[in-house]
């Protein structure tokens, strides 16, 4: 093992070691400033008040009307053997929303017609207590969220059989985990292949209606997640330097999320290849002259999310060429904040941004022709092949397990599933007060996509392929913040903006 002394000098030696490729062990040192003492009291929150869960279930019963609702909580998910599960355990968000409890192995049953609510689950036994410690009984957990009845897991079969024999509707949500698919097969005899189409559209629509508009207490949680997100991203900016691996920065970012909240809200993206949409951190070494893209978010202890992206120069200073592209993305990001408000379709905000981006790319000579026609043809998707944003809440892509067409669209606004790029829009519907959406424009130079469109001549009247060819080594830029729709406009979530104006980014990186 040997040390790169220049790295230790750059990073201000401490006692932190990390293994980079097995053939080239390097010792890297963590700057002392990286993790300030946590103000933990800001982040310790319990579940919401009992009344919140009671009121939510009352509203759900009214919206669904009749039948039996079965909300499956999640089970532990084995990683490489049954007792070594993915950590930390993540409860299903809809179960959390109505039943609040974070333990595995629970199911919530709401018999609407007879007004009976039951928390179904087994108490843990002494063998488990020895290993994991004592946890609340199912009875206590039910009481904490205002549920009157409990039942052991084996009675779930009886509950389903009785309802089916009486030809009553059983409302369940489309399952996304295989163990729950087996459970539904066992309980209701519906084959996993049919479970999605047999899932209750009434229940989906009712939950989407309720979870889309965030209440004051939920917004407080989202603000808390934003504070952790700020710490994650500023940590990435502090650690990013030539000679450090992507994985080192990504791992430290994850550690911040784990230290203050429950976990990351999705696997952290940290890469010099910003043009790869979900580029997870690799063992590649950060190089001067490149850009690093960091897309990362936190979940609070109560499972509310943040989702931000920043792109910054590895050496702390933008080149002229980087600045030209970055400034376009920056102005697209800021344009959203001017346009988004109740009554406006996010579809229209997306396309306003696409047109603005096209105008600016024309000024740089990367695009050409009539802007309206170029955007109608989908030419902008060469640079922005995804939507402007998505709903965010307890899930980073909120309720995406219900299918985006049921969450981000409605009867009035339908998705376009044909056009490349536009078919990736996750959110198009009219905005309402209390909605939380992400604002995440980007410009990417994807060599394989450039080659494909160039070879086929796709959109050749709108794209200057000769100039584009010289950008194949550029990478990609995205800037993302989370937007709360207010009564007459919108605002960013998070009191402190993670630096994104070029001067702010450069100053932050120079001084931290
Ligand atoms: Mn996002």
Question: Is the sign of the CA dihedral 312, 317, 318, 319 positive or negative?
Answer: negative
Whole-number Å distance, alpha carbon 186 to ligand 1 midpoint, is: 36
Of 31, 36, 35, 4, residue with least CA distance to 20: 4
Whole-number Å distance, alpha carbon 511 to ligand 1 midpoint, is: 28
**Helix or strand run (H / E) with residue 481:** strand 481-485
The stretch 223-246 carries a mean pLDDT of 97
Q: pLDDT tier at 47 (50, 70, 90 boundaries)?
A: confident
Name the average pLDDT for the chain.
92
The residue to which tokens 């979940």 are assigned: 299
The stretch 51-58 carries a mean pLDDT of 98
For the record, the structure tokens of 177 come out as: 């985990």
Residue 4 has pLDDT above 50, yes or no: no
Whole-number Å distance, alpha carbon 479 to ligand 1 midpoint, is: 10
Whole-number Å distance, alpha carbon 386 to ligand 1 midpoint, is: 10
The residue to which tokens 């406006």 are assigned: 344
Residue 353 has pLDDT above 80, yes or no: yes
Number of Cβ within 10 Å of residue 467's Cβ equals 14
Whole-number Å distance, alpha carbon 148 to ligand 1 midpoint, is: 39
Residue 50 has pLDDT above 90, yes or no: yes
Return the pLDDT at 42.
Answer: 62
Return the pLDDT at 8.
Answer: 36
State what percent of residues in the chain have pLDDT above 70. Answer: 91
Return the pLDDT at 510.
Answer: 97
Residue 41 has pLDDT above 70, yes or no: no
The span from the CA of 422 to the CA of 328, in Å, is: 20
The stretch 442-471 carries a mean pLDDT of 98
Q: Are 199 and 173 in contact (CB under 8 A)?
A: yes
- The second-level CATH assignment, the architecture, of 216-511 is Alpha-Beta Complex (3.90)
Q: Indicate the length of the chain as a whole number.
A: 512
Residue 382 has pLDDT above 60, yes or no: yes
Residue 376 has pLDDT above 80, yes or no: yes
The stretch 333-362 carries a mean pLDDT of 98
Whole-number Å distance, alpha carbon 389 to ligand 1 midpoint, is: 6
Whole-number Å distance, alpha carbon 211 to ligand 1 midpoint, is: 18
Where in 213-369 does DSSP place strands (E)?
A: 263-264, 269-271, 291-296, 298-299, 308-313
Q: pLDDT tier at 134 (50, 70, 90 boundaries)?
A: confident
Whole-number Å distance, alpha carbon 249 to ligand 1 midpoint, is: 19
The stretch 300-327 carries a mean pLDDT of 97
Q: Are 226 and 480 in contact (CB under 8 A)?
A: no
Low-confidence winner among 7-16, 164-173, 180-189, 446-455 (lowest mean pLDDT): 7-16
Burial class (CB in 10 A: 0-12, 13-18, 19+), 265: buried
Whole-number Å distance, alpha carbon 383 to ligand 1 midpoint, is: 17
Domain ranges for the chain, please list them: 50-212, 216-511
Return the pLDDT at 26.
Answer: 45
The stretch 48-65 carries a mean pLDDT of 97
Give the model confidence (pLDDT) of 420-436 as tens digits.
Answer: 999 999 999 999 999 99
The span from the CA of 289 to the CA of 475, in Å, is: 11
What's 18's DSSP letter? -
Return the pLDDT at 5.
Answer: 37
Whole-number Å distance, alpha carbon 277 to ligand 1 midpoint, is: 11
Whole-number Å distance, alpha carbon 270 to ligand 1 midpoint, is: 14
Residue 39 has pLDDT above 60, yes or no: no
Whole-number Å distance, alpha carbon 344 to ligand 1 midpoint, is: 20
Map 387-420 to HEC letters: CCCCECCCCCCCCHHHCHHHHCCCCCCCCCCCCC
Whole-number Å distance, alpha carbon 446 to ligand 1 midpoint, is: 19
Q: pLDDT tier at 36 (50, 70, 90 boundaries)?
A: low
The span from the CA of 407 to the CA of 395, in Å, is: 12
pTM for the full model? Answer: 0.90
Number of Cβ within 10 Å of residue 400's Cβ equals 16
Give the model confidence (pLDDT) of 256-282 as tens digits.
Answer: 999 998 899 999 999 999 999 988 999
- Just give the CATH number of 50-212: 3.40.350.10
Question: Is the sign of the CA dihedral 282, 284, 288, 289 positive or negative?
Answer: negative
Burial class (CB in 10 A: 0-12, 13-18, 19+), 258: middle
Whole-number Å distance, alpha carbon 390 to ligand 1 midpoint, is: 7
Where in 308-382 does DSSP place strands (E)?
A: 308-313
Whole-number Å distance, alpha carbon 144 to ligand 1 midpoint, is: 33
Return the pLDDT at 45.
Answer: 66
Whole-number Å distance, alpha carbon 297 to ligand 1 midpoint, is: 9
The residue to which tokens 């049954």 are assigned: 82
Return the pLDDT at 44.
Answer: 64
Q: Give the residue, 135 or 162, on which the prediction is more confident.
A: 162
Distance of CA 125 to the CA centre of its chain: 36
Give the model confidence (pLDDT) of 70-125 as tens digits.
Answer: 999 999 999 999 889 888 899 999 999 999 999 999 999 999 999 999 999 999 98
Whole-number Å distance, alpha carbon 307 to ligand 1 midpoint, is: 5
């Amino acid at each position: 093992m040997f040390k790169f002394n220049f790295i230790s000098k750059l990073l201000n030696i401490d006692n932190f070691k990390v293994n980079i490729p097995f053939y080239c062990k390097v010792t890297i040192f963590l700057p002392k400033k990286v993790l300030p003492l946590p103000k933990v009291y800001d982040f310790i929150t319990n579940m919401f008040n009992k009344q919140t869960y009671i009121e939510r279930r009352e509203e759900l019963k009214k919206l669904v009307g009749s039948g039996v609702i079965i909300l499956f909580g999640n089970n532990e998910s084995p990683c490489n053997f049954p007792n070594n599960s993915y950590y930390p355990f993540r409860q299903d968000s809809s179960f959390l929303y109505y039943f609040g409890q974070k333990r595995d192995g629970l199911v919530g049953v709401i018999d609407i017609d007879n007004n009976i609510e039951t928390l179904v689950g087994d108490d843990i036994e002494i063998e488990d207590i020895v290993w994991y410690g004592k946890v609340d009984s199912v009875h206590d957990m039910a009481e904490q969220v205002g549920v009157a009845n409990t039942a052991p897991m084996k009675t779930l079969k009886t509950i389903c059989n009785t309802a089916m024999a009486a030809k009553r509707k059983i409302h369940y949500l489309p399952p996304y985990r295989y163990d729950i698919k087996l459970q539904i097969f066992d309980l209701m005899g519906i084959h996993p292949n049919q479970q999605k189409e047999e899932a209750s559209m009434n229940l989906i629509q009712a939950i989407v209606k309720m979870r889309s508009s965030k209440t004051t207490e939920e917004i407080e949680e989202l603000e808390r997640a934003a504070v952790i997100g700020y710490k994650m991203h500023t940590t990435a900016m502090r650690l990013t330097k030539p000679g450090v691996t992507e994985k080192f920065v990504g791992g430290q970012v994850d550690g911040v999320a784990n230290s203050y909240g429950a976990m990351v809200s999705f696997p952290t993206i940290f890469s010099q290849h910003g043009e790869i949409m979900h580029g997870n951190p690799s063992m590649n070494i950060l190089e001067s002259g490149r850009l690093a893209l960091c897309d990362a978010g936190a979940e609070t202890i109560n499972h509310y999310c943040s989702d931000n992206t920043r792109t910054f120069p590895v050496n702390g200073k933008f080149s002229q060429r980087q600045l030209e592209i970055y400034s376009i993305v920056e102005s697209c990001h800021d344009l959203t904040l001017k346009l988004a408000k109740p009554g406006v379709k996010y579809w229209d905000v997306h396309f306003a941004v696409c047109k603005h981006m096209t105008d600016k790319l024309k000024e740089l000579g990367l695009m050409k022709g009539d802007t309206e026609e170029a955007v109608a043809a989908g030419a902008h998707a060469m640079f922005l092949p995804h939507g402007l944003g998505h709903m965010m809440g307890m899930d980073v892509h909120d309720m995406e397990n219900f299918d985006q067409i049921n969450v981000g669209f409605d009867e009035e606004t339908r998705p376009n599933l044909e056009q490349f790029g536009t078919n990736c829009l996750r959110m198009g519907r009219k905005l309402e007060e209390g909605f939380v959406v992400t604002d995440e424009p980007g410009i990417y130079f994807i060599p394989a996509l450039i080659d494909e469109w160039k070879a086929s001549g796709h959109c050749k009247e709108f794209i200057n392929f000769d100039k584009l060819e010289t950008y194949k080594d550029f990478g990609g830029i995205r800037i993302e913040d989370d937007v709360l729709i207010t009564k007459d406009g919108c605002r960013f979530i998070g009191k402190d903006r993670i630096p994104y104006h070029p001067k702010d980014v450069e100053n932050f990186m120079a001084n931290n």
